[in-house]
Amino acid sequence: MATLEKIRQRKKILAIVIGAALLAFIIEVGIEAIGRSGGNSAAANVGSEKIDIMHFSREVEKAAAEAQQNNNQDQMDPAVRQQQVLDEMINEKLLENEYKSLGITVSDKEISELMIGKSPAPAVTQFAQQVGAKSPLELYEFIQDPGKQGVDKSQVQELKNQWDKIQADIVKQYKFAKMQNLLAGCMQANDLDRAQLAEEGAVTNVITFAKKDYASLADDKYPVSDAELKAEWEKLKPMFKLEEEGRAIHFIAVDIAPSAEDIAAANKIADAAYLALQKGRGIDSVRVLGTVHIDSTIVTKDKLPAKVRDFFAGAEVGSVRRDTTTGEHHQMYKLINKQMSIDSVMLSYVSVQGDAKMQNTVREQLNSGKSIDDLKKAYPQKVDGKTGEWQRLYGIADSLKNKIANAALGTYFVYNSADQGAILMKVDEKKASKMFYTLATISYDAYASTKTSDNLRDKFQDFLNKNKTAKDFRENAAKAGYNAIDAVVTPSTAQLSSQFSRGIKDTRKAVKWAFDNKKDMVSPIFSDNNDVLIAVAIDDIYDTGYLPYTFEQGKQMLTQRVRNNKKGEDLMKQYKGKAKDLNGYAALMGTKVDTARVAFASMGDPKLGQEPGLIGRIATAKPGTLQGPWKGENAVIVYQIVKQEKEERKPTKEELDNRYAQARGIQALVNPQSIYHILSKATKVTKHLIDFY
């Protein structure tokens, strides 16, 4: 049957794609890495259970193979993929343990209904359609008993593997949905909740206010002592709790960028390419340069590159255009051909198994008015087909394009035939012809030469030789033209990032070095695929407990809080009781009176800034009464309610239930990330992946 042939063909393609992906990917984590980890074979521990390193390695291989199958240009940092896979495996184990505790299962009957029932899961239906089966049930029966169609069981093993994977994924999704529903049932609004929500949104207070932002005051007039920082840290200590051990580091990333000399050389190559491109109608004269990238495409006018669209729309074949160039990137275009062609057609096609006589009989009956369904019943297992399939024509072979372009509407013709089978086709509708442009895009990028790369490395190494302590590293970086970036890394840090537009790839070994060495040490140079040079200095080691108040990023936050508090106290002394109305306070503050609208259920008005506690104060204030000055976290504010707007319509029960769900219920808390976070707090999770590098 036609379905069987489609499945056979797809099986070959899948085997080639997946096989190539597995061959192309070599995982760093392997058996030999267990020795480096001191004999530990766990990539992570979840409570008393472990995630075995070899099981983890196989899952990473699968993820890499799938990524390459779906995207041949997959450029994900292997360390990022490994960390993602490990996190997924940890979350899966946390969920499975929770399912056991809650008694959540998926029965065989439920699985059968989800896979081959009256309403299968969309993923199963889509998979069946992709491999040419009429239904999930037909595909399942073929996989279970391929011998019935004369196929050896080993030939459908890849299909079976995919079917099993889809089933496993659907079972996971169904279990999670059951847990979500269970939790959602425990988080429903009651009458008191609805009354509170209705009250919170019932009144909008219109206020006039004046405020003095702390940012307008000079920081140097409000020094912050070490003792004050420590006291503030004690108040906020839970915020600094360590989930994993950490290392406070500074790192320098040196981009290996082309020099002015390299860019000048690239300009010469690009100029030569442009001159060569202007010769003749083709692009062979450019190919001989060898260093440029050439890409050809056939598109309609609206798909031409925007910068050259108008030019090529009216240009002659052979015309060239050079796009605006930067110092490091050059791009140019050549119009190879333009041709009027049918844009797309609606087709019906029928596959026939049988000799020429059978093929002619089916074609004649179709053209006499018989439907595909009629013929499928008349010739079971020999006729199959589809109707109403739109096909774009400009990208297909000229032989088929010409057949379709010249075919009469509504009449089946032989597209392809052999002794024992044929494909019949009918054109149901043709869209109007359009102009298609064959456009060649030629690009060239400037790269750092070996000389440039060596010079950058030598200069960086000289800096490291002269700055062998973390203190010297961070204090002298700017003088040498480098930017020392502070960070706190953990065993789960897969990739360093910086002001670069991307995460810096292949930096896992630099992170590993930070965990293998002592405080105040400076690393050797690590290379990021020869694009970036990296060195790390260890400022401090945080093993357990809490991040100290001295770590740089936390210290900045604490300093601002202490300083803002001092500024607020100072302003309160200057303003409190010194004016009788808003205009008077605005004059003292050197600002103007403004207006804002605030409802208790809202996030406040952006004009007021982020001020915890202010919304509650406004909600309980007496209208028409001057309030303040009040010291906030970021400003001193004086305000008064000038108008209260009541909600014209009372919200319905359904609306209040939706508000509850968004703020406190299922939408706010019963989502994957929230559930993973809660479960990881209830079960001790320890990650060991860094030990295997």
Number of Cβ atoms within 10 Å of the Cβ of 252: 23
- The alpha carbon of 105 is separated from its chain's Cα centroid by a whole number of angstroms, namely 31
Tokens of 512: 């590993």
Phi, psi angle pair for 59, to nearest 5°: -65, -35
Q: Which residue has the tokens 């006729």?
A: 383
Mean pLDDT by 10 residues, the chain (693 residues): 42 33 33 47 90 90 82 72 92 92 92 91 89 87 82 81 92 90 80 80 88 95 96 93 89 90 88 83 72 83 86 88 78 87 81 87 89 86 82 66 78 80 84 84 88 94 97 96 91 75 75 94 85 93 87 90 96 94 95 91 82 88 93 95 85 81 70 83 87 81
Chain segment 312-341, per-residue pLDDT in tens: 888 888 899 888 666 688 888 999 888 887
Question: What's the per-residue H, E or C state across 123-158?
Answer: HHHHHHHHCCCCCHHHHHHHHHCHHHHCCCHHHHHH
* pTM given for the model: 0.68
Looking at residue 24, what is its pLDDT?
29
Q: Which residues pair with 434 in a beta bridge?
A: 341
Number of Cβ atoms within 10 Å of the Cβ of 482: 19
C-alpha to C-alpha distances, 279 to 97, 180, 182, 273, 285, nearest whole angstrom: 70, 66, 71, 10, 7
Looking at residue 561, what is its pLDDT?
95
DSSP 8-state symbol, 316: P
> Which of these, 85, 5, 79, lies nearest to 51 by C-alpha position?
85
> Which of these, 500, 474, 503, lies nearest to 486 by C-alpha position?
474
Number of Cβ atoms within 10 Å of the Cβ of 553: 12
C-alpha to C-alpha distances, 587 to 73, 149, 213, 626, 659, nearest whole angstrom: 62, 91, 14, 16, 41
Number of Cβ atoms within 10 Å of the Cβ of 663: 15
Looking at residue 536, what is its pLDDT?
96
d(CA 170, CA 120): 10
Q: The sheet that has 412-418: what strands, in order across it?
A: 383-392, 344-353, 421-430, 412-418
Cβ proximity of 382 and 341 under 8 Å: no
d(CA 623, CA 644): 8
Looking at residue 601, what is its pLDDT?
74
d(CA 172, CA 175): 5
SS3 291: coil
> Which of these, 394, 374, 372, lies nearest to 385 by C-alpha position?
372
* Residues contacting 597, CB < 8 A, separation 6+: 204, 205, 206, 207, 605, 645
> How far is the first Cα of the chain from the last one, in angstroms, to the nearest whole number?
52
Within 487-551, where are the H helices? 508-516
SS3 119: coil
Looking at residue 526, what is its pLDDT?
92
Q: Is the dihedral of CA 385, 391, 396, 399 positive or negative?
A: positive
* Residues contacting 396, CB < 8 A, separation 6+: none
Looking at residue 201, what is its pLDDT?
74
Looking at residue 71, what is its pLDDT?
63
With 0-12 / 13-18 / 19 or more C-beta atoms within 10 angstroms meaning exposed / middle / buried, residue 167 is middle
Element (H, E) at 297: strand 293-300
The CA-based diameter of the chain, rounded to the nearest angstrom, is 106
In 510-626 the beta strands, taken as DSSP E runs, fall at: 526-528, 532-542, 594-599
Looking at residue 40, what is its pLDDT?
64
C-alpha to C-alpha distances, 406 to 339, 400, 401, 415, 435, nearest whole angstrom: 16, 10, 9, 12, 18
